[in-house]
Structure 1
Amino acid sequence: MDEDVIVGNHEASQFLPTNPYSATKAGAEILVMAYGRSYGLSVITTRGNNVYEGRLFQFMGDGSNVRSYLHCEDVAETFEVILHKGEVGHVYNVGTKKERRGIDVAKDICKLFSMDPKTNIQCVES
């Protein structure tokens, strides 16, 4: 098995999209990099985990998909650091390797902020 799959992807990992959504994200990144190289644009690429804000949580299906999650304020702070200290042409992964079911993250946030999970978590069919 590919070591990157086991320990998590690093910035220089080969793209291995598993669905059309992730393939379009990879394609967009390649397109931006090509513009940077061809036209000398100052490009800095970030690759982020799923971001939550904390009001209404909506999941496709039952919320059992396992993902890595980051709070929006942490992501904004990270982007500011990258904007001021990042190097043009570099790629920065923004995230964590810790993964949890989305529904569990949403329930924990509701509990932390005394929010009713019945009104703040929605699972919709795809």
Structure 2
Amino acid sequence: MKRLVLLLTFLCPMGFIALNAQSSSIFIGATGGANLSKFKFTEDLKELYPASNSLLGLNGGVTIGFEVQNFTLHTGLQYIQKGSEYQTDNFEDEQGTGFYSATEKLHYLSIPLLIGYRKYL
């Protein structure tokens, strides 16, 4: 792991030096979409929550990228929503019905770093 960090530390400045020496383009954009996510319970919780359904989540963000010849470097800020719906009929609550239903949504902010190579046809 230390070798990887050292390698990246020395290679990143070389990339920026090459960036100044060659023609490059900078681009800004927006992303958006939807995803389906579902919680997968461990063996001890599968008995308690036998039914689990997928939940629709949204994602979106802004992105900035640099392109030098065929290589690209993207970063930005992404909002990601994930979750699941689940029910159980063997839950003891205060009313004594024994049925429990819940929806959980998780909200994430991420800063991705993507390196790519483009081959133009």
Would the TM-score normalized by the shorter structure come out above 0.5? no
The TM tier, using the shorter chain, reads under 0.3
More strand by share: 2
More helix by share: 1
Higher alpha-carbon Rg: 2
Higher relative contact order structure (alpha carbons within 8 Å, sequence separation ≥ 6): 1
TM-score, with structure 2 as normaliser = 0.24
TM-score, with structure 1 as normaliser = 0.23
